[in-house]
């Protein structure tokens, strides 16, 4: 089954003062190795949304896959810093009906994810029906 939406972490989210410091202190080759690892690990951190669940996948060498029931969204918040606006990443937090909420930091194109999650928004009547059953 194909996912309805796939959110991917931005490789640019992790680049900061630390990256510049690694390049200056350790030299160019270790800096390139560090940057390459960060880029590869960012592309291996995804969230796949399906009609009734979402799956968090992460890791390059040690992989982790968490499957969570997804009934619907109550509210969504999208935050973007100045660097995030320029480089195209942000943080999306969603209050979901169920056990755990969704908080994705450094996700690519956060507005698209926010818009997708808003299509999954449920109203109060559906929540009370879910709680009663």
- Per-residue pLDDT in tens (0 to 9) along the chain, 133 residues: 789 899 888 877 766 666 667 677 777 777 777 777 777 777 778 889 998 888 888 887 778 888 888 888 888 999 998 888 888 889 999 988 776 788 888 898 999 999 999 999 887 665 655 555 4
| pLDDT score, position 110 | 93
Cβ pair 48, 3 in contact under 8 A? yes
What pLDDT was estimated at residue 126?
59
Q: Is 92 exposed, middle or buried (0-12, 13-18, 19+ CB in 10 A)?
A: buried
CA-based nearest residue to 73, from 29, 117, 124, 36:
117
What's the confidence (pLDDT) of residue 87? 83
Instruction: Domain of residue 29: give its range.
Output: 5-132
Total domains in the fold of the chain: 1
CATH number, domain at 46?
Answer: 2.30.29
- In the DSSP assignment, the letter for residue 19 is H
């Amino acid at each position: 089954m194909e996912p309805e939406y796939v959110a991917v972490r931005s490789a640019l989210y992790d680049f900061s003062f630390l990256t510049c410091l690694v390049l200056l202190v350790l030299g160019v080759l270790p800096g390139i190795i560090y940057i390459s690892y960060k880029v590869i690990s960012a592309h291996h951190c995804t969230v796949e949304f399906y009609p009734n669940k979402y799956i968090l996948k992460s890791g390059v060498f040690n992989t982790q896959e968490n499957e969570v029931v997804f009934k619907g969204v109550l509210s969504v918040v999208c935050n973007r810093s100045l660097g995030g606006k320029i480089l195209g990443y942000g943080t999306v937090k969603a209050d979901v009906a169920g056990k755990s909420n969704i908080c994705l930091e450094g996700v690519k194109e956060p507005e698209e994810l926010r818009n997708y999650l808003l299509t999954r928004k449920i109203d109060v009547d559906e929540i009370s029906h879910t709680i009663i059953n």
